[in-house]
Structure 1
């Protein structure tokens, strides 16, 4: 539906760039707020650390699933493209509209409001005169406009900004870890009361842990611009996830060593309270600045990846095709960036509480949708094993070529591929016995005939002239 001569995404992102974008998106303000909620849902300090490690393992398994999908089907549309291949364009369109109007744009508006709240605390009051009560919304709108403008200029500019803010953020997290683990050894004497087992809610704790790890799936939207995506996307998702698990686990160990489990439960700003204990009021200001940097990092990465769905979906539509134009000069979906920014600004204008509620609804939508691509993968394998079903038979070629990517498979995928390979070998062997092997098998059999009158085909060895 679009001009084939138009510019398309090019492989300009390295593995380092993609990991930086992924980590910068995930490593946001959640780590500064979630630990207190998790601490209130576990019964001991050991369980507090265990849930973060288990959440990291679950995240890593999900990352391997997405690495497999992204390697087999690299596309700037990411999840939209996966759903389109597995369930058809109608299902993909529903997800695309939800992502463009609620999931991604709602997340942009909510993170922008968080950024505006903290910037309003750092900067002096009264800068906007009679509009000063609306200063958080004004700062949020300015942040969306500026960061969208940077990404409209070009992918390289947006990527370079992301590298800078991500490294600042990791540096701030590293400082918190060092201060917590080595800055105040006596602070851990603030012992934590144990929670009765019947009061603990491990499931609730795990929900918030997984929400804090959330965002790794956005790496799928980078495969259209990642160099040698089929081979490198696994490195991006696996490497980025391992780095996140290490940072989150060490951060929570640092918080626990200073505040204790009881202090974490009572705190509304765990990092600020910890730094106040070990470094005084200056430490609290440093944490506030680190949260601002984290919000900028998450906001820029979310704007970067979110616009790719606008581009991919518009290419499948007969209306609004201007959104699906790729800017060849900046190597970016500039029109998609602009459309995304307009919707996010509209959500900011509606109000902060509504935008945050939309983000919560978007997370619920995301939780339901994350399993759809993996389910589609299993349906594709099933269709290959039962070729009589025309609905999904088109995916057989994708399944058969999947093993060439040399990715770490989950056991269920390995079993399905093994059964598929065996079934194909058995089918070819049966055809050979009946004298109607395909040309490739006949050619191979002709080449392998020897003086003994034997020939070898896939999974079958026969003597010429034998009756079966």
Structure 2
């Protein structure tokens, strides 16, 4: 529900400002170019490149299910997958969109098979404890740490905004896509978890990292577990492609605003894509995948990203006050409670991540704030050249 609230808030902004760049554009209009630049800079160094690296590293780890891989080989595979999808998305938007469609449908079909087998199976009933499972003392910090992993599963809810400038009839399509897409993801995850609970006892859910594979092994043996591992690879591959596809639109918008290399704001003459933006993001993602661990990358992404997600939903309120005449084909339901509630939750997640993972959080924040002198240097150099 938290992710759906954020998506519906962005739907208002996307329908009102259907431009390439998404959240970058909304932050620029609400808070100015510096804050928007910090988001774009953070996307490039941490949030989006880090997301791509995290997914690629996970792809390498899960590939070891089918054939033995050393840690070095896993990282090489992760880098190779990023390079492949970077090339696909340079060649054309249609190629990237086709990959996205194929792997999304494969993932949904696989989930449907798992849910059907689990919910229709006879003679398979999980043992549900009558007493609460023994757990260590639960605090708000530990609850927040668990919530971070859940939110990561829904992390793609904001990515539609980056490609808003390429959507036909955005005033109608964007709000509907945010809402229906969010509901589909919720239904898929709830259905999958009901299936797992149908097969596995609660204790097993806590003990196994590969819950889906364990559940399918109970239902269909080792081949079922292998099927799920292949499905997870499809899911990661599709999510990685979506990340590589959408992020460069923000760097493209930054270049058009004069706060990034002007060449990044050009469209490839043959492929009609922001090719240089895609290439730069791919190179940084490969560097992160080669040097960071999954847990480090994960924390960088969550901490830096949710600062700006919270600010983006507050922008709904800010722009309603500053630009009341802006045409809004869609207005978020429950205004102003829904966007404010989401932003408060987002900032609570940021604070909780700082409390639980201070070192990684501070590194992520430092990488974002390093953009402040870069921004002023970028503005000073052209001004100095024009004076001379």
TM-score when normalising by structure 1: 0.67
Alignment of 1:122-141 (within 5 A): 122-123=66-67, 133-141=71-79
CA distance in 2, matches of 1:200, 1:257: 26
User: Is 2:312 aligned against 1:368?
Assistant: no
> Is 1:87 the equivalent of 2:31?
yes
- 2:105 corresponds in structure 1 to 167
Alignment of 1:339 onto 2:280: yes
| 1-structure distance, mates of 2:54, 2:321 | 40
Alignment counterpart, residue 377 of structure 1, candidates 316, 333, 340: 316
Q: CA separation of 1:280/1:257 partners in 2, compared to 1, >3 Å: closer, same or farther?
A: same
Counterpart for residue 217 of structure 1: 158
Q: Judging changes above 3 Å, is the alpha-carbon distance between structure 1 residues 133 and 245 closer, same or farther for their aligned structure 2 residues?
A: closer
Gaps of 5+ in 2: 339-388
State the shift of 1:200 in Å: 5.1
Out of 152-161 and 175-184, give the one that drifted further: 175-184
For 1:109, the equivalent position in structure 2 comes to 53
Structure 1 stretches lacking a partner, 5+ long: 1-56, 126-131, 384-394, 415-468
Question: TM-score under structure 2 normalisation?
Answer: 0.81
- Cα distance in 1 for partners of 2:315, 2:331 equals 18
CA contact (8 A) 1:165 1:293 kept: yes
Distance in 1 separating the partners of 2:223 and 2:155:
31
Q: Residue 235 of structure 1 is aligned with which of 176, 181, 184?
A: 176
1:345-402 Cα deviation digits (max 9, x unpaired)? 122232x41x64133112111111111122222123333xxxxxxxxxxx3432xx22
Contact 2:12 2:316 (C-alpha < 8 Å) held by counterparts: no
Q: 2:330 & 2:88 partners in 1: Cα distance?
A: 36
Find the counterpart in structure 1 of residue 83 from structure 2.
Answer: 145
Question: How far apart are residue 174 of structure 1 and its match?
Answer: 1.2
Task: Sort the Cα spacing of 1:264 and 1:285 in 2 relative to 1 into closer, same or farther, 3 A.
Answer: same
Name the CA distance, whole Å, in 2 between partners of 1:275 and 1:318: 50
- Structure 1 residue 298 and structure 2 residue 239: aligned? yes
Residue correspondence of structure 1 range 61-72 to structure 2 within 5 A: 61-72=5-16
Q: 1:231 to 1:248 in 2, by over 3 A?
A: same
Measured against aligned partners, the alpha-carbon deviations of 1:404-457 in whole angstroms (never above 9, x if no partner) come to x1444323389xxxxxxxxxxxxxxxxxxxxxxxxxxxxxxxxxxxxxxxxxxx
Q: Give the distance between the partners of 1:411 and 1:141, measured in 2 at CA.
A: 43
Equivalent residue of 1:223, what SS? Answer: helix
Pick from 121, 125, 129: which aligns with 1:183?
121
**Is structure 2 residue 237 aligned with structure 1 residue 279?**
no
Instruction: Select between 332-341 and 183-192 the one with higher mean Cα deviation.
Output: 183-192
Q: Which has the higher contact order (CA 8 A, sep 6+)?
A: 2
Query: Once structures 1 and 2 are overlaid, which stretch shifts more, 184-193 or 151-160?
Result: 184-193
Counterparts of 1:164 and 1:208, CA distance in 2: 26
| Alpha-carbon separation, structure 2, partners of 1:95 and 1:81 | 10
Structure 1 413/253 Cα, relative in aligned 2: closer, same or farther at 3 Å? closer
Structure number with greater Rg is 1
Deviation at 1:209, TM superposition (A): 2.6
Q: 1:192 to 1:267 in 2, by over 3 A?
A: farther
Q: Which residue of 1 aligns with 2:65?
A: 121
Provide the C-alpha distance between the structure 1 equivalents of 2:116 and 2:138, rounded to a whole number of angstroms. 30
